[in-house]
Structure 1
């Protein structure tokens, strides 16, 4: 007997069409499930956006709670060529008069001229740092002798390199004026305590004070006017900066004043006093001012308003109903998301205690009909310049969530809804569970449809087999009848 290779061949029925339509009926619930899955996926995405926006609101509120958001200072100088000023948050607002009498300088000396490229002479140099006063050298407390050995082959350049490699606090420079070489020495820092002495302890000619050989590079005025202490050679001793703040004398080893006014640093760059210390002394004071800088505070409030508006817009878009198109948004009527909106709006209308201002509207932050906030920058700037009252409105800690500052309120709200068990987290988890169940149900429908298809194919295959046998029997009977009719004709 021939094998049935396709359902319907034996019976003559449109079996494939019948099976396809019956299986399609079994899969019909997938349309609803797929549509639901798409909606839930969109809701999960929207909740993710809302999560991020609550997080941004928390960040903005937290930034407002930082003292640095309210303690910025700006400093100015009426003569920046003579003095510049910076101030930290610890500085109090003030205005002072500054006279720059003299600048701090390093010690510097220069050697007599030596033949260009010539040898300096062999021997030993001893360098020590300290201070000079009335021609007397006093070694520094932590100072130690640094010995530099000059070889017979040393030039000014090679000796300068040896001095620099000793890291003694003195910088050596080989200088050529076009015809001759000189050795220039300068202390690395300024101030009276940055001085140095350079002694020749041994010289190839056995005389360390004859202004010949290596002794030409000595600087020891107390021992005599030879070497770099020779009369006529330029010498600058280390000196401190001298200034007057509101007429009171101050001094500094450097040209930076840091400890005179808490939180204020003044860098001196030019003198303002003419003929300092003389009878014809003339003053040209610099006015140094430190003021509160409200710019960061205003920016932090603006950042809070922006973060709030972004979140409010997402909540409004997700819960709206378009009457013109009769289309509901993905969270329209959702009690959780609508609840978030209500909590935010109620918090905007609450009060804060402990400040001259109680409501956000008092400082120019107004809620509009669409739920967004507008900012009156003029009103906000006025509040920002009203001492610490604006800061108190946002940061007051009354140990009461109903009257705490608004930054504290919104930070607590945002972190709360994002925490485990919070509204946003719970909503996201619930939606994911719905999506997972939907996937399970779709699998169940597909499995059931597959089982139905398998059963139908089995049944129609059996029917085809039976119909094929009956057709064969019918053909045989018909043949026999034909044969019988012929034999009786």
Structure 2
């Protein structure tokens, strides 16, 4: 039979056609396998580059914190009294201050006279028709006129007021008790200057009937500039927070004092007892400085170790790193190690005790014994 070796001896009965077919298939598959191997190697390199990019980004963030001048002005602030909470907001210098709180900030509120709920009704109705005009005390151009009908419930009136709150800075709600309901209007912002009026102006006056229903004095001209006095309504004027800092009177429209002390803000939550002020102390935060340095060292060493791993050659297994010989990676390695002896943002890392150790790793020299250790100790700034 053609293609079959049939002579006696070695190879007798071997199917020559099958062997030729297999050899031909193998020959054809070798280029495809080489492409698959190349693709796999390329995927590995792409993954490696992604890892290196992530490590470099981490190092960049850590270096930015070390070279930022603010990193060397870190401070901690504490208060001896829970009535005063303090936080560092900028370059705060070591210091101590006394803070006495005499008044907390408050937003203006106006609770109307009581409206009774009719027998069998689910809610109180306003009862009279007219116009309610709300004006911001801090900006007279922020004015809104709310049309009220006699059959509107207090909840519906509150909803109408809230629709204009972005203009007037006033929100409304309904307070209920066993005797009836009250319409409550509240300034969004605390402070003496951030209140509101319900008097209107010559163009948009509040109806006298509405003033009377709310429990406000309607005996005068409702178009005058002064707000009407409360009769059956309950009015609480807005207040500023007041305190003494080292004996100096200070005020804030809110309970937070943002610019009173340099580099600090403090928030008051209650009035302090006479003769018992809060003591606010600011101290240098050396732990924060050390933490930033340690983060830089850890990020540097993580990148250095990865670069060494992807470019090494293992003589025992005769395998090379996926990026061995890559000129870009070699350049990055050289530039990375040069940073330890360079000036970063006006700071010499060597002045901080950071230097190069074995394998290009960053090491820190102890002040106490002069021994270098990788990442486990940070020199005092």
TM-score interval (norm. to shorter): 0.5 to 0.7
Contact 1:174-1:182 at 8 Å conserved across structures: yes
The answer on 1:165 being equivalent to 2:163 is yes
The answer on 1:113 being equivalent to 2:120 is no
Contact 2:313-2:320 at 8 Å conserved across structures: yes
Structure 1 residue 287 displacement after superposition: 0.8
Structure 1 residues 156 and 228, CA gap change in structure 2 (3 angstroms): farther
Residues 237-248 of structure 1: matches in 2 within 5 Å? 237-248=237-248
Contact 1:109-1:234 at 8 Å conserved across structures: yes
Distance 2:251 2:239 in 1: 10
Residues 151-230 of structure 1: matches in 2 within 5 Å? 151-167=149-165, 168-199=168-199, 201-203=206-208, 215-219=212-216, 229-230=230-231
The answer on 1:347 being equivalent to 2:353 is no
Distance 1:180 1:28 in 2: 95
Distance 1:379 1:119 in 2: 73
Residues 275-286 of structure 1: matches in 2 within 5 Å? 281-286=274-279
Structure 1 residues 42 and 227, CA gap change in structure 2 (3 angstroms): closer
More helix by share: 1
**Over residues 314-350 of structure 1, what are the superposed CA-to-partner deviations in whole Å (9 max), with x where a residue is unaligned?**
43xx41222xxxx422369x7668x949965993797
RMSD across aligned C-alpha pairs, in angstroms? 4.8
Distance 2:218 2:91 in 1: 46
Query: Structure 2 regions of 5+ residues with no counterpart?
Result: 118-122, 200-204, 222-226, 364-372
Structure 1 residue 39 displacement after superposition: 8.3
Distance 1:227 1:217 in 2: 11
More strand by share: 2
Contact 1:84-1:268 at 8 Å conserved across structures: yes
The answer on 1:289 being equivalent to 2:286 is no
The answer on 1:129 being equivalent to 2:135 is yes
Structure 1 residue 145 displacement after superposition: 4.5
Distance 1:104 1:187 in 2: 12
Structure 1 residue 60 displacement after superposition: 3.6
Name which structure has the greater RCO, CA cutoff 8 Å, separation 6+.
1
Structure 1 residues 221 and 345, CA gap change in structure 2 (3 angstroms): same
Structure 1 residues 335 and 109, CA gap change in structure 2 (3 angstroms): closer
Distance 1:18 1:242 in 2: 105
Q: Runs in 1 of length 4+ with deviation above 4 angstroms?
A: 8-50, 67-70, 72-75, 220-224, 334-337, 341-346, 353-357, 370-378
Distance 1:141 1:214 in 2: 22
TM-score w.r.t. the length of structure 1 is 0.55
Match of 1:358 in 2: 350
Contact 2:77-2:88 at 8 Å conserved across structures: no
Distance 2:24 2:114 in 1: 110
**Over residues 264-289 of structure 1, what are the superposed CA-to-partner deviations in whole Å (9 max), with x where a residue is unaligned?**
443332232x4xxxxxx534124153
**Over residues 344-363 of structure 1, what are the superposed CA-to-partner deviations in whole Å (9 max), with x where a residue is unaligned?**
59937973366565388x33
Contact 1:198-1:219 at 8 Å conserved across structures: no
**Over residues 56-107 of structure 1, what are the superposed CA-to-partner deviations in whole Å (9 max), with x where a residue is unaligned?**
453244223425874354653425743334444x433444423333221111
**Over residues 123-180 of structure 1, what are the superposed CA-to-partner deviations in whole Å (9 max), with x where a residue is unaligned?**
434434355xxxxxxxx44435433333222343333333333323222222222122
Query: Structure 1 regions of 5+ residues with no counterpart?
Result: 132-139, 275-280, 387-489
SS in 1 for 2:320: coil
Match of 1:404 in 2: none
Contact 2:190-2:253 at 8 Å conserved across structures: yes
Distance 1:172 1:251 in 2: 27
